[in-house]
Amino acid sequence: MDLKTLYGKECPLILAPLAGYTDPVYRTLCRRNGCDMAVTEMVSAKGLLFANENTLELLDTLPEERPVSAQLFGHEPEIMAEAVRRTAERMGDALCAIDINMGCPARKIVSNGDGSALLNDLPLAGRLMEAAVKASSVPVTVKMRLGPDETLFVAPELARIAEQSGVAAVAVHGRTRVQQYMGKADYGKIALVKQAVSIPVIGNGDVTDAESALKMLRETGCDGVMIGRGALGNPWIFREIRAVLDGEEPVPPTDAERAETALTHLCMAVEREGRRGLVELRKHLCHYFHGVRGAAQIRTKLQTAETPEETERILLDTFRT
């Protein structure tokens, strides 16, 4: 499958799944600003089998962000296959791909044998991918890390297994499991993964602006860019990268646009989830003030705001100054 069919662009810009952040509202804001595809927060395959309502809600989408890729995590092939089927039933036409998480380094995920724990058992990873591909009516992709640690660089082999299993594309975060999010992403090793397979390889790690996205593409030869932490509070990163790829000058957001987007984020979150939406939004809004004078004090105010109206006043006062 070619990239344009899978992602809508020949060099796609993808919003990475980030637990607790990439909810439907934020995915929608990123799509409005040039993101070619967004991925849900990671969803427990086992939780789907238990029909856990909190788990099922992670598959909900908003019209503007569709179609969406759903990321599942688990390590049991039979359970993964059933989770794939239930994801398709839940999401319907909103679903364009199933993504399998083989990169999450969080201790509670790894201790259960999920996420980047699969980097230690490539045969099991292969069976998991085969089961997902067989059960899925949409393309299956995989997100991985380089390996468990610097002594075990397994990503090229895992990518080859993915290709043999019928996986349509792989995304590679250029860090190991033990690195977590420390140090620098190794673009040289992502390049080796790209050279190992013929399916598309999406590069991930340390992309924070158009310049770093071009560096990623240049040094890895990868087919697209996945952006995670660099997009927090910065949905405009996608349009800026796209502008540079199209040979145009990137246009950074004005203060007025930043204020408008933060307020839109507030309104959409509260409309969707009420009080819970306001509480969840606090961590998002804090990211909008990176580089703004007095950011620490602004974040403190936002964390203690009790109502949407109070939050709105803080945002308007900040961007007026």
How many angstroms separate the CA atoms of 312 and 278, rounded? 11
104 carries an active-site annotation: yes
Catalytically annotated residue among 30, 35, 104, 222: 104
Name the region of 220 (left: φ>0; alpha: ψ -120 to 50; beta: rest). alpha
Written as one letter, the residue type at 315 is: L
Write the secondary structure of the chain as one string of H (helix), E (strand) and C (coil).
Answer: CCHHHHHCCCCCEEECCCCCCCCHHHHHHHHHCCCCEEECCCEEHHHHHCCCHHHHHCCCCCHHHCCEEEEEECCCHHHHHHHHHHHHHHHHHHEEEEEEEECCCCHHHHCCCCHHHHHHCHHHHHHHHHHHHHHCCCCEEEEEECCCCCCCCCHHHHHHHHHHCCCCEEEEECCCCCCCCCCCCCHHHHHHHHHHCCCCEEEECCCCCHHHHHHHHHHHCCCEEEECHHHCCCCCHHHHHHHHHCCCCCCCCCHHHHHHHHHHHHHHHHHHHHHHHHHHHHHHHHHCCCCCCCHHHHHHHHHHCCCHHHHHHHHHHHHHC
CA proximity to 55, closest of 87, 29, 89, 92: 87
Question: Catalytic residue positions?
Answer: 104
